[in-house]
Structure 1
């Protein structure tokens, strides 16, 4: 808006107001008096331009200013959270043994601490570093301090995924959703917003009056866009509407609402196709690339799942992505779960990768 107010333009306007009978050449008293003022005014206009830009919310504004704008509506950026995984602990006879709560272990570049006992020798292990990077970590746990009787320890499956600090894009999307769909009194918008605020939860669908008046069903996937674990389901159910007190308003659900929390059902996807490869290539050389593009496509569908009544796994989309791979000339007879047609999933189903079978 103020880009025309450069230092040169401002200085020229000021100099034009000085009578020509005075010396206005560079180095003169008049020039030397006005030039610094022109520079400062240019900076002022630049600051005004930036101020105007930050007045209107956008995902491109600096995080600190976006935080201030959404705070006006009572929203705040979701912080990074800590992943929780299963840990297994064995003695020298390979029998499960108990360890002290608070025991710390390292694996790769991360430290994990035992926070809760699940059963004999099996514990919930929380990563000490916040974020999503630790979600995929598995392997042998190395004790940071000596634990008597412990021979081996392993880090197992993910229970509750860690999340990175919320991005500008995600916060802006929540802000717009908040403005367009006012959450109030147990409406769909309120259930979606409050369910997504639970650590570890990603996409959410809400089904009101699904089993009669006053009933609500919430179906979700985790923040990694995978089918949630039982631990995450139990956590969400307890926060939203504890099973033993359903309808009494002891969770975030209003009094009179009986809420059932479920995880989305994973539908395993197997892709088969016949490829025409460029000279000198074998199926084995492109197998990993094909698997990666299929996994990426299915992840994209899971990320979009909450916005669609049904999810469609399309043959055309699969073929287009495979044909983009270097070395693949053509593709024939592409099938999804042994059928050469699109696969339509139900409203509570999400596609998960199982296998890719290729031939030439």
Structure 2
């Protein structure tokens, strides 16, 4: 691609190119008069070089012009999905008629905070249930069953609180790459009225959906989804997808079924030889994080958990000399996933050679 950029010195040289018998040295009147314009022209030429990077979706993504990428996508009716707050329910145990106020703060051991959404009066059985919402947006506020159990402020007659079910409906703002992929799906796939690509686009429009696959059949359409956190979708998200598609799809288009992917837990064991610069616990933590990233990125699309890939990740960790007896789910074979399956990290256990 041709470039517009020229330095200020280049512009100045062009300006004085036709001047003869005139002092154009560093401190001359001509130099002082023309230098400001040279710098302005140079700055403008730099901006002109950036414009082509901004106006096309792919180059906007590659050059981190996210706002212009959003504008390009919006022209096609594709809008960036915003972050959501994780919400759930806590069970409260206490004396009959004890009050747990609205906007009470509850937390996890790690300090994630949530607020109750209504005032709760404990019933005659000593139990109450309150809706809670995370204090901020994003997936970092998702948590497992029983993680929320701390009350920073104590209330008279209230004994304990806890979430009885996991919370997994907090989503980060859609990544620029995911937004671009939805744009490409729309402009480069033949989404005619009610074909499989249309169903996938409709599903991906729902906040919280990160993957969608449509399997059409005789008189029925099946849509398989995963959430934006690359995990199985909860019932609430499945219902949202079903309702949204049902609203926009052609009438009498057959029976619609929306389901979530099935999570396949990947447990990894191995023995490692390490040098004196690291300790086993640190190596295990680093490997767990890297393996999780591998499963949620590469395996998410290839549908294959490779023993060799995991071995490569392990031996690439600083301080790891070699490894042996690497196993996935207690076996030494690769694992191939079905269309409706995704791999999620389970336990990781490393020993020493």
Q: Normalising by the residue count of structure 1, what TM-score does the alignment of the two structures yield? A: 0.79
Q: For residues 291 and 64 of structure 2, what CA distance do their matches in structure 1 show?
A: 34
8 A contact 2:315–2:321 mirrored in 1: yes
Q: For residues 21 and 98 of structure 1, what CA distance do their matches in structure 2 show?
A: 93
Pick from 110, 114, 117: which aligns with 2:113? 110
Who is 2:264 aligned against?
Answer: 267
Q: For residues 160 and 274 of structure 1, what CA distance do their matches in structure 2 show?
A: 33
Is residue 141 of structure 2 the alignment partner of residue 134 of structure 1? Answer: yes
- Pairwise CA distance, 1:54: 1.8
Who is 1:245 aligned against?
Answer: none
Is residue 326 of structure 2 the alignment partner of residue 352 of structure 1? Answer: no
For residues 216-255 of structure 1, what are the structure 2 equivalents within 5 Å?
216-241=221-246, 251-255=247-251
Q: Which whole-Å deviations, capped at 9, do the CAs of 1:322-350 have from their partners, x for residues lacking one? A: 22234443333333233321122222112
- Pairwise CA distance, 1:207: 1.0
- Pairwise CA distance, 1:141: 4.7
- Pairwise CA distance, 1:103: 4.4
Higher mean C-alpha displacement, 81-90 vs 277-286: 277-286
Q: Secondary structure of the equivalent of 1:273?
A: strand
Who is 1:187 aligned against?
Answer: 195
- Pairwise CA distance, 1:222: 1.6
Q: For residues 244 and 119 of structure 2, what CA distance do their matches in structure 1 show?
A: 19
- Pairwise CA distance, 1:264: 1.0
8 A contact 1:270–1:356 mirrored in 2: yes
Q: For residues 341 and 119 of structure 2, what CA distance do their matches in structure 1 show?
A: 32
8 A contact 1:106–1:141 mirrored in 2: yes
Which segments of 5 or more consecutive residues in structure 2 lack a partner in the other structure? 121-126
8 A contact 1:225–1:302 mirrored in 2: no
The alpha-carbon distance between structure 1 residues 115 and 132, as it changes in their structure 2 partners (threshold 3 A), is: farther
8 A contact 2:266–2:343 mirrored in 1: yes
Q: For residues 175 and 294 of structure 2, what CA distance do their matches in structure 1 show?
A: 22
Which segments of 5 or more consecutive residues in structure 1 lack a partner in the other structure? 242-250
The alpha-carbon distance between structure 1 residues 355 and 44, as it changes in their structure 2 partners (threshold 3 A), is: closer
Who is 1:248 aligned against?
Answer: none
Q: Which whole-Å deviations, capped at 9, do the CAs of 1:65-97 have from their partners, x for residues lacking one? A: 22222222222222221112332211159xx99
The alpha-carbon distance between structure 1 residues 149 and 192, as it changes in their structure 2 partners (threshold 3 A), is: farther
Pick from 150, 164, 184: which aligns with 2:172? 164
The alpha-carbon distance between structure 1 residues 286 and 61, as it changes in their structure 2 partners (threshold 3 A), is: closer
The alpha-carbon distance between structure 1 residues 112 and 47, as it changes in their structure 2 partners (threshold 3 A), is: same
Pick from 88, 103, 128: which aligns with 1:121? 128
8 A contact 2:182–2:204 mirrored in 1: no
Q: For residues 160 and 279 of structure 1, what CA distance do their matches in structure 2 show?
A: 40
Q: Normalising by the residue count of structure 2, what TM-score does the alignment of the two structures yield? A: 0.80
Q: Secondary structure of the equivalent of 1:16?
A: coil
The aligned length equals 337
RMSD of equivalent CA atoms: 3.5
